[in-house]
Amino acid sequence: MEVSTQCVATAATSEQPDDSTRRRAIRGAFFSEFVDMFDVFLPVAVLSPVLFFFQPSNLVDSPLTSLVFVTTLLGRPLGALIFGVIADRVGRRNASILSSAGFATVTMLIALLPGYEVIGMMSYWLLVLLRFVDGIFLGGGYTGPIPLAIESAPKDRRGFVGGLIIAGFPAAYLTTNLLAALMFALFPLDGASSPYAQWGWRIPFMIGSLLAAALSAYYVFKVEESEVWRAEAMGKVDRLPLTDLIRGKSARSLAQVFLLMTGLWTTQNIITLFLPVGLLTNILHLNYVQSSATLVVTYTLMIFSYVGAGVLSQSIGRRNFFIVVSLLIATAGSGMLFVLANVARLSLVSTVSLVCVLAILVTSPWGGLLTYINERFVTDVRATGFGVSFSLSVIIPSFYAFYLTGLSAVTPGHAAPAILLCAGGIIAAVGAIIGPETKDVDF
C-alpha cells in the first residue's frame, strides 16, 4: 500500500476515547450531516414557490433565478478548503463549532430578509450573497465533524459509522419536504400578500438556524477533540504541509479520490436531480401524489441501505465494494433506468419497486465513501483532503443536464440518462481500481 494511505501511528500509545466519547462524536457527525442537507434542500422545497417575493415578476423565470441555488454549491468548495485547514491546524472540534455557528447565523439572516416591495432588487442580491456565504459555512460542516467521528470510531466499526453518518442525507430530505408540505397546508400560498409568501416560508429557515445553533452548542459542551488529531498535533514538531495535497504523496490520493468521486457524483445526480422531475414527472407522467409517494418510500429505504452498505464495505473491503457496485451501476443500473424510461405500461407498483431498487443500488457506494476518503489521507491533511476532494469533484458532474441534452441529440428514445449513468459507473470503477484497500489502515 502506498505511503499516502498510511496514517501516522503516533496515537498508538495515547489514551483511546471511551464509548461515550465515541458515541457523542458520531452523533454529532450524523446531526451535522442532517443539518447540512436540511439547509441545502430548503431553497428547493421552501423558497422556489416564492422567489417572486425577492424580485420583480418579469425576472422570476430568468436565468438570475438559478443563482439562488447555484451560489450555495459555489461556496461549498471554498468552505471545505477554509474549514479543512482550520480542522487540520486548529482542531476538528473547533472547525465544527465555527462552521455550525456560522450557518446558524446566516440562515437566520435569510429568514429575516425583507422583500422586493420593501428594498427592491437589493432583496434578491442579499439573498444570493447570503446563500453563497451559507455555502461556505456548509462546506465546513463536514470537514470537521466527519473526520472527528471517523477518527473516534474503532477500526472494525468505521464502515458502519460512515454509513450511519451519510444516512442523515435522506433523513434531511424527508424532513425538509414534509415540513414544506406542512407550511403550505397551514399557510396557503396565493400571491405576494398571502400568509406563506409573507412569512410562512421563513419558519423552516428559522428552524434550520435553531438546529445549527443547537449543533454548535452540542460540540461546545458534549464533544471532545479527536485523540488522533491531538496526539498528532502534540507529537510532531514539523507537521506535513498542506502543499503535500498538491505536489506531495497526498496528491496521488487526492487525484484518485477525485476520479472516484467524479464518477459517483455523476451517478448520484441521476437519482437526486434527474429522477424526481426528469423521470417521474416528465417521462413517466406521474402526478404529484404518485411522485411524492415514490420519493418518500425511496428515501426512507435509503436511510437503511446506506448503513447496510457501510457495513458491507467493512466486511468485503471498501475497494472491492466500490469496484463491484460501480460495475453493477454501469450494467444493471443503466439497464433498469432504460426500462423505466422506455418501456410503457408499467404498473405503479412495478414503477415504484424498480425506482427503489435502482436508487438503492446507485446510491449505495456513499455508505462506504465518507470512511474511505478519510482513510486515504494522513492525519495532518485529512480534513482538508476530505473536504477538497469531496466538494471539487462535484463540479464536472454538476453540468449533467448539458450532457443529457447532448446525448439526447444523438441517441434514440430516452437512452441518454442510462448512457450517462453507465459512464459514471465506469469512471467510478476505474477510480476504485487504481486506489488501494483501506479498511485495515491504522489512524
- Backbone dihedral angles phi then psi of residue 388, each to the nearest 5 degrees: -70, -45
- What superfamily would CATH give domain 240-438? MFS general substrate transporter like domains (1.20.1250.20)
* Domains 16-238 and 240-438 equal at CATH topology level: yes
Site of grid cell 505536489: 247
Grid cell digits, residue 138: 456548509
| Amino acid, res. 39 | D
Q: What is the mean pLDDT of the chain?
A: 91
The domain made up of 16-238 is a member of CATH 1.20.1250.20: yes
More confident site: 244 or 341:
341
Sign of CA dihedral 53, 59, 61, 66: negative
pLDDT tens for each residue of 279-322: 999 999 999 899 999 999 999 999 999 999 999 999 999 999 99
The gap between the terminal CA atoms of the chain, to the nearest Å, is 15
pLDDT at residue 232, as a whole number: 82
- Using CA atoms, how far apart are residues 125 and 236, in angstroms rounded to an integer? 46
Given a cut of 50, whether residue 10 has pLDDT beyond it is no
- Using CA atoms, how far apart are residues 32 and 35, in angstroms rounded to an integer? 5
Count CB-CB contacts under 10 A for residue 217.
Answer: 14
Instruction: Please write down the long-range contacts of 66-71, taking CB distance under 8 Å and 24 or more positions apart.
Output: 67/128, 68/43, 68/127, 68/128, 68/131, 69/43, 69/44, 69/131, 71/128, 71/129, 71/131, 71/132, 71/135
pLDDT over 70, % of the chain = 93
Looking at 14-18, 238-242, 375-379, which range is the least confident one? 14-18
- Using CA atoms, how far apart are residues 103 and 239, in angstroms rounded to an integer? 30
pLDDT tens for each residue of 218-268: 999 999 999 999 988 877 655 677 788 888 889 999 999 999 999 999 999
Domain boundaries in the chain?
16-238, 240-438
pLDDT tens for each residue of 125-169: 999 999 999 999 998 988 999 999 999 999 999 999 999 999 999
pTM for the structure as a whole: 0.91
pLDDT at residue 218, as a whole number: 98
